C-alpha cells in the first residue's frame, strides 16, 4: 500500500498518513535557506528537489549499496513507461529528439506549448495524467507536430501520432461501473482483444499458489491471446521486458556483493532469482525475507508492486525506492524509548491510569536516496509493504514514512504563510529557528511516548467499543497532549535532545495554537465542519486551553487591522492546562466515558467560527500552489580509483527537470 500525495500540494501532505500529518507548512530553517527546493513549475505540476540527510554518515560499502540499488531501480524505468501505454516509449523518443535537435524559433506559443506537453508527459511517465488518468491534451495542433517532425528528421507515424490528438485511449485506467474495464483502459497490461470476461475466466482456473497462502497471481505478466488461447507473457529475464530486467539483475548482483549483512544478501539473492524465473512463489519468499530483514541502515523497494494501475487489480507497476535510515530521528526515538518509563511516571495522569512497565512504540522514518518507475517523479510519502495479506499476517510488514520527501514538501512553500498568520517578530523568529526541530520532536513524543502511555481500567473495553466514533480523535488528541506537555520540559535538554528547552517549547506551543485555531482552517471549505480526526483533535485541544485560560489571559485573541491572531502570554500556565487536559483525556479513555468524549469533541473540535474562517481563507488567497508535486532525484556519482574501484559516492543535484529526464532516457533505456 502506498500513500500518495495528492490534490492540494502542501495542504494534503501527510493527510493520508495518519500519525505523521504535518501541522502547517514549515519555513525553511536558516542554514537550509540556500537549498533550492523548487526545480520547475508547469501546467498543474510543481517539481521539487530533495536532499539525502545522513548520506555522508554512511560507510563506503553502504554508499556503494545505495548507488547500485538506485542504478537497479533506474534500469527498469522504461518498463513503467511501456506498462502505462503501448505507444509511450515511441512517443517519448520522438518528442525528445525534437526537443534536443530543433533549431527554429523557441519563443513561439506553439513551441512553448510543445515544451509544456513534453514536460507533462515526462512527469506522468506517459501520455496520461499521473493522477486523473485522462489523456493529456496538447495545446498545439497536429500540423505543428508534423512540422517539427519534418524539421528535425524525426519519425512518428500512424496510431502513435494520431493518439496524441484524437479521442482514442482517452483513459489510462477505467474503473467505472457498467463498461468493460479492461477493454476501455489504455494501460498496457492486456492484449488488444482481451475483455473483463477473459480475465475473470482465466483467473478462475489459473494457479493461485498453496492453499491459504496464495501467490499474487498475475502480478508480473501481460495477459494476451495467442492462437485463440489466453496466455501470460511473464516479465522476467528471457521473457517480456527481459532486456531491462537483465540490467536490473546486473546491478542487484553488485548490490548483493556489498550487502550490510547476510540476511540482506539472501533477500537480494531471492529478488534476483525471482527476476530470473518470474516465479511468484519465489516472489513470496523474497517478500517474507524482506519484511523480516530489519537490521542495517539501507533498505529498498524494488519490483512490480502496486496494482492500482490494473482495472482488475492483478498486475503490478514497476517501482523502486531506495531508503537510508533517518539517523537523527532514530536517535531521538531511541532516547525517548529508553526513557519511556520516566515520561510515564512524571505524566500528569491519575496514578491508577499510569503503566508500571511502559514500552515505547516503535516508529520508522527513512530518507529517500532515489526513486524510479511508479514512484517517480510523483512519489508516495509513506509506504506499507508487502501487499500479500497472508505474509503480512504471518511475518509482519514494514511501514515507513519518507522523511526527507515530507520535509521538502514542507520547505518548498516558503515562509509567506508564517508571516501572514504569526502575531509578531518573536513568534516568526522562534519558528524559523526551532520550528522544524519542535515539529520532529513532537512527532517523536506523540508516536513513541504518547501512543504507548496510559492504562485502561480493568473491565473497561477498548476505545473503539466505548468511545466509538470519537475513539480515533480522542486517541490522537491524547498523544498530541503527551507531546505538548513534555515539549516544555527541561528533561529534553537533560537527555540531549534540545539545547534550549524553553525556546523549543515556545516555538512548539506557538505553532500548535496558531495551527489549531487558525491556519488549519485553510484546508476546509467555508461552511463545512472539521471532520478529519487529526484536525478535529488539534482544534479541541487548542480551543479548550484557550477557553480555560481566558480568565488568566494565557492565550490572547488579538484583532489588528481586521486580522485575527492568537498570542500566547503565559507559556508556563499553558503547559499546566495541557497537563490538565491530558489527565482528562486519559481519564475518558481509561473509564470509557463516551459522554465526556462527545462533549469535548463536539463542543470544541468540530464547529468553526464562520467569520474567522472567511477571514482566514481570504488571507490565504495570496498563496497559490500547484495542485500536484513530484521530485527530481539527487544524482549519485561514484568516484573511482585507477583500478576502477569505487572510492566514494558524491551526491549532486540535477540542473533541471528536463536535464534529468533526458539524462535518464539516454542512460537507462533498455527495452528494445
Ligand atoms: Zn497518532
12/534 Cα distance (integer angstroms): 12
Distance 441 CA to ligand 1 centre (A): 13
User: Alpha carbon of 71 to those of 58, 269, 666: distances in Å?
Assistant: 18, 17, 14
What is residue 27's predicted lDDT score, i.e. its pLDDT? Answer: 55
Q: What are phi and psi of 35, to 5 degrees?
A: -65, 130
Residue 449 near residue 343, CB atoms below 8 Å: yes
The number of C-alpha atoms within 13 Å of 442 and in the hemisphere containing its C-beta is 28
Name the residue among 114, 77, 71, 73 with its Cα closest to residue 96: 114
Residue 413 near residue 623, CB atoms below 8 Å: yes
| pLDDT at 37 exceeding the cut of 60 | yes
Q: List, in sequence order, the alpha helices (H) in 415-470.
A: 416-421, 425-444, 463-466
Distance 562 CA to ligand 1 centre (A): 36
What is residue 20's predicted lDDT score, i.e. its pLDDT? Answer: 45
Average pLDDT rounded to a whole number, residues 253-273: 98
Distance 18 CA to ligand 1 centre (A): 7
| pLDDT at 257 exceeding the cut of 70 | yes
What is the tens place of the pLDDT at every residue in 562-588?
A: 999 999 999 999 999 999 999 999 999
Residue 112, SS3 per DSSP: helix
Q: What are phi and psi of 299, to 5 degrees?
A: -145, 175
Average pLDDT rounded to a whole number, residues 261-290: 98
What is the tens place of the pLDDT at every residue in 120-177?
A: 999 999 999 999 999 999 999 999 999 999 999 999 999 999 999 999 999 999 988 8
Distance 404 CA to ligand 1 centre (A): 20
What is residue 411's predicted lDDT score, i.e. its pLDDT? Answer: 80
Distance 20 CA to ligand 1 centre (A): 7
Distance 445 CA to ligand 1 centre (A): 10
Distance 364 CA to ligand 1 centre (A): 13
Residue 35, SS3 per DSSP: coil
What is the tens place of the pLDDT at every residue in 458-506?
A: 999 989 889 999 999 999 999 999 999 999 999 999 999 999 999 999 9
661/654 Cα distance (integer angstroms): 10
What is the tens place of the pLDDT at every residue in 55-64?
A: 999 999 999 9
Q: Are strands 229-234 and 221-226 parallel, antiparallel or unpaired?
A: antiparallel
| pLDDT at 9 exceeding the cut of 90 | no
Distance 612 CA to ligand 1 centre (A): 28
Name the residue among 510, 662, 631 with its Cα closest to residue 37: 631
What is residue 14's predicted lDDT score, i.e. its pLDDT? Answer: 35
Grid cell locating 611: 467569520
Q: Which is more confident, 266 or 359?
A: 266
Average pLDDT rounded to a whole number, residues 621-632: 87
Q: Cα 374 to chain center, whole Å? A: 13
Distance 443 CA to ligand 1 centre (A): 8
Distance 421 CA to ligand 1 centre (A): 26
| Helix (H) / strand (E) containing 559 | strand 555-560
Tell me, yes or no, if the pTM score tops 0.85.
no
Distance 476 CA to ligand 1 centre (A): 5
303/321 Cα distance (integer angstroms): 10
Residue with cell 520540559: 489
455/453 Cα distance (integer angstroms): 7
What is residue 19's predicted lDDT score, i.e. its pLDDT? Answer: 52
What is the tens place of the pLDDT at every residue in 406-425?
A: 889 878 877 788 999 999 99
Work out the number of other CB atoms within 10 angstroms of the CB of residue 512. 26
What is residue 331's predicted lDDT score, i.e. its pLDDT? Answer: 87
418/27 Cα distance (integer angstroms): 7
362/69 Cα distance (integer angstroms): 26
What whole-number percentage of the chain has pLDDT above 70?
95
Average pLDDT rounded to a whole number, residues 359-385: 90
Distance 451 CA to ligand 1 centre (A): 7
What is residue 3's predicted lDDT score, i.e. its pLDDT? Answer: 55
Neighbours of ion ligand 1 (CB under 5 A): 19, 476, 479
Q: What's the mean per-residue pLDDT of the chain?
A: 92
Average pLDDT rounded to a whole number, residues 245-264: 98
Distance 503 CA to ligand 1 centre (A): 24
Amino acid at each position: 500500500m502506498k500513500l500518495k500525495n495528492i490534490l492540494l500540494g502542501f495542504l494534503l501532505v501527510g493527510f493520508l498518513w495518519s500519525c505523521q500529518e504535518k501541522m502547517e507548512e514549515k519555513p525553511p530553517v536558516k542554514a537550509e535557506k540556500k537549498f533550492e527546493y523548487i526545480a520547475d513549475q508547469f501546467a498543474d505540476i510543481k517539481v521539487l528537489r530533495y536532499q539525502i540527510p545522513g548520506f555522508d554518515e554512511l560507510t563506503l560499502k553502504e554508499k556503494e549499496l545505495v548507488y547500485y540499488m538506485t542504478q537497479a531501480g533506474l534500469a527498469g524505468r522504461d518498463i513503467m513507461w511501456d506498462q502505462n501505454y503501448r505507444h509511450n516509449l515511441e512517443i517519448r523518443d520522438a518528442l525528445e529528439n525534437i526537443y534536443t535537435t530543433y533549431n527554429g524559433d523557441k519563443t513561439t506559443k506553439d513551441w512553448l506549448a510543445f515544451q509544456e506537453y513534453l514536460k507533462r508527459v515526462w512527469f506522468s511517465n506517459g501520455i496520461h495524467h499521473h493522477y486523473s488518468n485522462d489523456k493529456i491534451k496538447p495545446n498545439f495542433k497536429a500540423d505543428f507536430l508534423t512540422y517539427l517532425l519534418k524539421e528535425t528528421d524525426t519519425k512518428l507515424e500512424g496510431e502513435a501520432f494520431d493518439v496524441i490528438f484524437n479521442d482514442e485511449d482517452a483513459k489510462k485506467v477505467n474503473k467505472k461501473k457498467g463498461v468493460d474495464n479492461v477493454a476501455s483502459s489504455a494501460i498496457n497490461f492486456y492484449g488488444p482483444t482481451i475483455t473483463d470476461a477473459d480475465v475473470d475466466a482465466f483467473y478462475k482456473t489459473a494457479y493461485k499458489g498453496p492453499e491459504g497462502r496464495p501467490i499474487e497471481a498475475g502480478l508480473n505478466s501481460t495477459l494476451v491471446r495467442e492462437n485463440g488461447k489466453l496466455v501470460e507473457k511473464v516479465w522476467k529475464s528471457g521473457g517480456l521486458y527481459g532486456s531491462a530486467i537483465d540490467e536490473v539483475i546486473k546491478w542487484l548482483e553488485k548490490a548483493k556483493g556489498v550487502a550490510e549483512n547476510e540476511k540482506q544478501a539472501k533477500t537480494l539473492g531471492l529478488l534476483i532469482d525471482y527476476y530470473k524465473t518470474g516465479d511468484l512463489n519465489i516472489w513470496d519468499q523474497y517478500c517474507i525475507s524482506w519484511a523480516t530483514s530489519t537490521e542495517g541502515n539501507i533498505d529498498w523497494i524494488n519490483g512490480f508492486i502496486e496494482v492500482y494501475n490494473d482495472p482488475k487489480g492483478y498486475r503490478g507497476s514497476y517501482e523502486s525506492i531506495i531508503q537510508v535510515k533517518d539517523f537523527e530521528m532514530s536517535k531521538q526515538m531511541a532516547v525517548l524509548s529508553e526513557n519511556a518509563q520516566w515520561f510515564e511516571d512524571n505524566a500528569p495522569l491519575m496514578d491508577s491510569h499510569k503503566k508500571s512497565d511502559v514500552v515505547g512504540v516503535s516508529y520508522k522514518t527513512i530518507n529517500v536516496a532515489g526513486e524510479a518507475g511508479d514512484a517517480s517523479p510523483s512519489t508516495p510519502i509513506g509506504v506499507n509493504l508487502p501487499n500479500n495479506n497472508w505474509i503480512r499476517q504471518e511475518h509482519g510488514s514494514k511501514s515507513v514514512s519518507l522523511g526527507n520527501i515530507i520535509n521538502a514538501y514542507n520547505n518548498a512553500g516558503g515562509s509567506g504563510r508564517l508571516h501572514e498568520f504569526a502575531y509578531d517578530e518573536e513568534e516568526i523568529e522562534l519558528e524559523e529557528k526551532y520550528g522544524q526541530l519542535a515539529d520532529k520532536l513532537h512527532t517523536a513524543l506523540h508516536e513513541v511516548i504518547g501512543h504507548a502511555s496510559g492504562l485502561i481500567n480493568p473491565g473497561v473495553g477498548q476505545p473503539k467499543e466505548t468511545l466509538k466514533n470519537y475513539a480515533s480523535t480522542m486517541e490522537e488528541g491524547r498523544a498530541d497532549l503527551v507531546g505538548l506537555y513534555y515539549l516544555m520540559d527541561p528533561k529534553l535538554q537533560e537527555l540531549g535532545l534540545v539545547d534550549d528547552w524553553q525556546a523549543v517549547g515556545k516555538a512548539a506551543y506557538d505553532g500548535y495554537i496558531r495551527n489549531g485555531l487558525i491556519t488549519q482552517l485553510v484546508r476546509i471549505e467555508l461552511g463545512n465542519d472539521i471532520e478529519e480526526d487529526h484536525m478535529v483533535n488539534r482544534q479541541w485541544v487548542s480551543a479548550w486551553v484557550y477557553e480555560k485560560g481566558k480568565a488568566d489571559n494565557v492565550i490572547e485573541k488579538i484583532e489588528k487591522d481586521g486580522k485575527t491572531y492568537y498570542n500566547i502570554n503565559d507559556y508556563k500556565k499553558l503547559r499546566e492546562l495541557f497537563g490538565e487536559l491530558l489527565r482528562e483525556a486519559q481519564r475518558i479513555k481509561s473509564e470509557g466515558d463516551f459522554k465526556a468524549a462527545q462533549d469535548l469533541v463536539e463542543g470544541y473540535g468540530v464547529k468553526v467560527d464562520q467569520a474567522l474562517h472567511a477571514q482566514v481563507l481570504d488571507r490565504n488567497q495570496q498563496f497559490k500552489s500547484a495542485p500536484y508535486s513530484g521530485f527530481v532525484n539527487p544524482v549519485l556519482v561514484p568516484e573511482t580509483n585507477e583500478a576502477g574501484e569505487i572510492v566514494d559516492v558524491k551526491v549532486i543535484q540535477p540542473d533541471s527537470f528536463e536535464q534529468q529526464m533526458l539524462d535518464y532516457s539516454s542512460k537507462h533505456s533498455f527495452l528494445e
